[in-house]
Structure 1
């Protein structure tokens, strides 16, 4: 899977207050709907007394996301999830989930106030989180003997490739993610060790 676009460097939380309502914004990198669900379950565990936990996410390349969704979680329609998603899209970041936990402070904010509060909370956490651009990788299959596994692992460590899975049959089958710019070097390594390999583009 190629990811040559910015994604969040990790999890981060920021809190803002608007007219006594607390807004706790969380950002997390996500690459599937299951990961989104796990993060949301954690937010509900951490904040069981919160009035609302609103969220939005987009998975895939910014501007042409493969999947995006949002949820107002009981706030008036369009006042929470949509402004959060708008901020995400404006930040030009992919594979990102933003959750905003709200503790009601007793003063109603009105529709415009809610939009500004949720957008502001999303902005505060997205501005603070680090961004990383993952290099494009090529999925690779390799057939090797057991004795070749250690040299293969060493090559991966030195060159920033990822050994995704190893099937210890006879022979051994491995799946790797090789940085696109090192495909030629990897091919030379395999040729030198007489390994069968194929790239999936």
Structure 2
């Protein structure tokens, strides 16, 4: 499992341009799964059901996870739309993103080179205006401890960016803490050191 954070879209964005009387509208949105990506494609297709082409590409997970990539030329000549769209997305370093480019044809042929440039260029321009946020890879830990160790554990939250999700109080305190995967080892080791190994730590995910 790759525990490094990566960028994802913060907000949807779009870019519009006219090329030789054809109107190209590029939509970008965050889609955390292949299902979400396909749903977004369908949403745009429904919105522009009168358009001749709604071509698309998606990177539905980590930017480098090609198992979650997809694209379609949607009736344009093979390789002129979906691949250039995906090339821009996969090269952007942004994950969980889908691009749909709607084309209203103006009757003038663009040729294969012109189409590649139009579809890829629209996504490139849209990416320039895209706001992104960092997605941290987190996991949940169950901590079982005596009441006396609670202040020690809670004092470590800010240092490791941990967040207490829930706490159950019986003979022992059972706390569920969300923390970045890459911080788990140091966080756990620090707790063990400070508690004399008296806090039981279990990974839940």
TM over 0.5: yes
Residue matched to 2:12: 11
Residue matched to 1:55: 56
Partner Cα distance (1:69, 1:120) in 2: 18
**Offset of 1:131 from its aligned partner?**
2.0
Residue matched to 2:86: 85
Unaligned runs of 5+ in 2: 145-153
**Does structure 1 residue 140 correspond to structure 2 residue 137?**
no
Residue matched to 2:203: 199
**Offset of 1:90 from its aligned partner?**
2.1
* Deviations 1:134-174, CA, capped at 9 Å, x for gaps: 2232x215489xxxxxxx9xx89xx57485xx8x9x9xx99
Alignment RMSD, CA only?
3.7
CA gap 1:198/1:160 in 2 versus in 1, 3 angstroms: closer
CA gap 1:160/1:120 in 2 versus in 1, 3 angstroms: farther
CA gap 1:132/1:160 in 2 versus in 1, 3 angstroms: farther
Residue matched to 2:112: 111
TM-score (norm 2): 0.73
Partner Cα distance (2:164, 2:105) in 1: 45
Return the index of the structure with the highest Cα Rg: 2
Please give the secondary structure, in 1, of the residue aligned with 2:66: coil
Partner Cα distance (2:199, 2:23) in 1: 58
Please give the secondary structure, in 2, of the residue aligned with 1:66: helix
**Offset of 1:175 from its aligned partner?**
6.8
**Offset of 1:185 from its aligned partner?**
5.9
TM-score (norm 1): 0.74
Partner Cα distance (1:65, 1:177) in 2: 28
Partner Cα distance (1:103, 1:6) in 2: 31
Partner Cα distance (1:43, 1:175) in 2: 40
Partner Cα distance (2:42, 2:175) in 1: 34
Residue matched to 1:122: 123
Please give the secondary structure, in 1, of the residue aligned with 2:103: strand
CA gap 1:3/1:40 in 2 versus in 1, 3 angstroms: farther
Please give the secondary structure, in 1, of the residue aligned with 2:84: helix
Residue matched to 1:21: 22
Partner Cα distance (1:143, 1:160) in 2: 12
